[in-house]
Amino acid sequence: MESISGYLAAHPTVFTLLTIFAVIMILYFILSKFIKLAIILLVVILLFGGVSFFKDPAPMPEKIKQSVQTFKTGGEQVWDKFSSLWRDTKSLADKAKKAPGEINKLIDPSKDPSKKDAGK
What's the pLDDT tens digit per position in 10-21?
888 988 999 999
Does 27 lie in the same domain as 69? Answer: no
Mean pLDDT of 52-61: 70
Residue 120 lies in a domain: no
Measured distance CA(118)–CA(106) in Å, rounded: 12
Output 42-51 pairs: Cβ under 8 A, ≥24 positions apart.
none
Does 86 lie in the same domain as 49? Answer: no
Q: Which structural domain, as residue segments, surrounds residue 66?
A: 59-112
Q: Name residue 15's amino acid.
A: F
The pTM score is: 0.34
Does 66 lie in the same domain as 91? Answer: yes
